C-alpha cells in the first residue's frame, strides 16, 4: 500500500515539475494570455499542453492563448494578483488555473485614489 502511494506521488511530482529548493517546494508553471479578453490568463503545468483545460474554456480564450512566461511558483513568494496557494492547489487538482481580469469596481477605486494624489 505504501509503495503504491509513493509511486503515485512520484508520478504526480514528475508530471507537475515540482522541485525542492531552499525556500520549500516549487512548481513550474506556464502562463498564457487570452487573445479575446484583456487581463485573462491561464496557468498550466506543461508548456503548450492544454490537455487538462476544458475545450470550452480553451476556445473562449481566442484562436490560441499567447505564451507570456514561465514562472516558478513557491508558497514563500506571493503573486501580485493571485493567491499562490490557490494557484498551486488548482494546478495540482485540475491541471490549470484561471486568472480573471480585475473587477471594474476595484479598478474604479484604484483610479479614484490615484486621481486624489494628483491634486
At 9 the pLDDT is: 46
3-state secondary structure of 58: helix
Q: Note whether residue 24 is domain-resident.
A: yes
Q: Note whether residue 35 is domain-resident.
A: yes
Confidence (pTM)? 0.70
Place of cell 512566461: 69
Domain total in the chain? 1
Query: Could you read off the pLDDT of 57-78 as tens digits, one per residue?
Result: 999 888 889 999 999 999 889 9
**What CATH number does the domain containing 64 carry?**
3.10.510.20
* Cα-to-chain-centroid distance, residue 105: 23
Cα dihedral 16, 22, 24, 25 in deg (nearest 10): 0
Q: Note whether residue 111 is domain-resident.
A: no
Q: Note whether residue 110 is domain-resident.
A: no
Write out the residue range of the structural domain in which residue 64 sits: 2-104
Amino acid at each position: 500500500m505504501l509503495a503504491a502511494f509513493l509511486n503515485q506521488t512520484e508520478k504526480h511530482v514528475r508530471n507537475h515539475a515540482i522541485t525542492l529548493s531552499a525556500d520549500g517546494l516549487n512548481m513550474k508553471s506556464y502562463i498564457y494570455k487570452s487573445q479575446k479578453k484583456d487581463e485573462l490568463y491561464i496557468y498550466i503545468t506543461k508548456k503548450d499542453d492544454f490537455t487538462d483545460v476544458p475545450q470550452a474554456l480553451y476556445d473562449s480564450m481566442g484562436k490560441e492563448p499567447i505564451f507570456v512566461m514561465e514562472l516558478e511558483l513557491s508558497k514563500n513568494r506571493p503573486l501580485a494578483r493571485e493567491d499562490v496557494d490557490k494557484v498551486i492547489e488548482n494546478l495540482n487538482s485540475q491541471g490549470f488555473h484561471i486568472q480573471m481580469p480585475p473587477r471594474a469596481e476595484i479598478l474604479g477605486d484604484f483610479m479614484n485614489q490615484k486621481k486624489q494624489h494628483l491634486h
